Copies of this chain bind each other. A is one copy, B any other.
Amino acid sequence: MIKTVRMNIEYDGTRFHGWQVQPNQRTVQGVIEDALAQLLRREVRIHCAGRTDAGVHARGQVASFVTESDFPINSLSRALNGNLPNDIAVHDVFEVPEKFHARYSALSRMYRYTLSERRRALGRNYVWHIKYHLDRHMLMKATEPLIGECNLRGFSKGDDNDDYSTVIVKNEWTFEDDLMIFTIQGIRFFHHAVRSIVGSAVEVARGKEPPGLLEMILAERNRDLAGPTAPAKGLCLERVFYDRDTRVGQA
């Protein structure tokens, strides 16, 4: 019988060339597909909710796949973790209705970007160490326009003919000692968008650009106005939201 299976995945992106399979590169998708193929004894193609670049992390990536294997799904999480390297952890694996697709069924994605004004040894692969002083009030001010319907063309790498419209549901800065954490949740994001938003906000907060920079980039849809793309290591895909976590056979 054909089953559709969903997995929640955490990974440390440091030693991966991103999510997507590429020849001769260590990728998250490649490593998981290899581990699955061994267990299910057939090739599997997995689809994720949000492809991440090299160095970007995920605490709550979601992937789905379709298989005819009769491997018991409730043993798959444990078996997979036994076969995966220690920079990937599969947290939950369960059967979902046939129409579920990690990417197309996702309602929104939440990313988090972490900056630190202090050099850090512990957790140094998860933060962008900023070497100049940032005005925290300006960080908040700079990103204020990023809410509701937005066109992210000016923050995204890609083809001008594509559609860059999205809806941003939440956008928030939190501060804990030397850490500055930007959380943004939207129905979809585009290549480099979150890192470009953060990079632009940093230019404002260090006083190199006016407070209205991000508003202008949104309006002009011109990437030449955006600040440098923030480094990959500060970014983490925190969570993906779906209508509900429907499991086959559950109420």
Interface residues in chain A, defined as those with a beta carbon under 8 Å from any beta carbon in chain B: 10-12, 57, 59, 81, 86-91, 118-124, 126, 236
Q: How far is the CA of A101 from the CA of B135 in the complex (A)?
A: 37
State the oligomeric state as a number of copies.
2
Which B residue sits closest to A236, measured CB to CB? B122
Please give the distance in Å from A115's CB to the nearest CB on chain B.
15
Please give the distance in Å from A211's CB to the nearest CB on chain B.
30
Q: How far is the CA of A236 from the CA of B121 in the complex (A)?
A: 12
Q: How far is the CA of A234 from the CA of B214 in the complex (A)?
A: 42
B121 touches A87 (CB 8 A): yes
Please give the distance in Å from A13's CB to the nearest CB on chain B.
9
Partner of A122, one of B12, B118, B122, B124: B12
Q: How far is the CA of A176 from the CA of B11 in the complex (A)?
A: 20
Q: How far is the CA of A125 from the CA of B118 in the complex (A)?
A: 21
Please give the distance in Å from A77's CB to the nearest CB on chain B.
9
A124 touches B91 (CB 8 A): no
Q: How far is the CA of A88 from the CA of B119 in the complex (A)?
A: 9
Q: Which residues of B contact A88 (CB under 8 A)?
A: 121
Partner of A118, one of B89, B123, B126: B89
Max chain B CB contacts within 10 Å: which of A11, A118, A119, A236? Answer: A119
Q: How far is the CA of A30 from the CA of B88 in the complex (A)?
A: 33
Beyond A11-B121, A122-B236, 19 additional contacts (C-beta under 8 Å) are A10-B120, A10-B121, A10-B122, A11-B122, A12-B121, A12-B122, A57-B122, A81-B119, A86-B124, A87-B121, A87-B124, A89-B118, A89-B120, A89-B121, A89-B124, A90-B119, A91-B118, A122-B126, A123-B126
Known interface pairs A81-B119, A119-B81; A12-B124 also in contact (CB < 8 Å): yes
Q: Which residues of B contact A81 (CB under 8 A)?
A: 119
Q: Which residues of B contact A57 (CB under 8 A)?
A: 122
Q: How far is the CA of A206 from the CA of B86 in the complex (A)?
A: 24
Please give the distance in Å from A219's CB to the nearest CB on chain B.
36
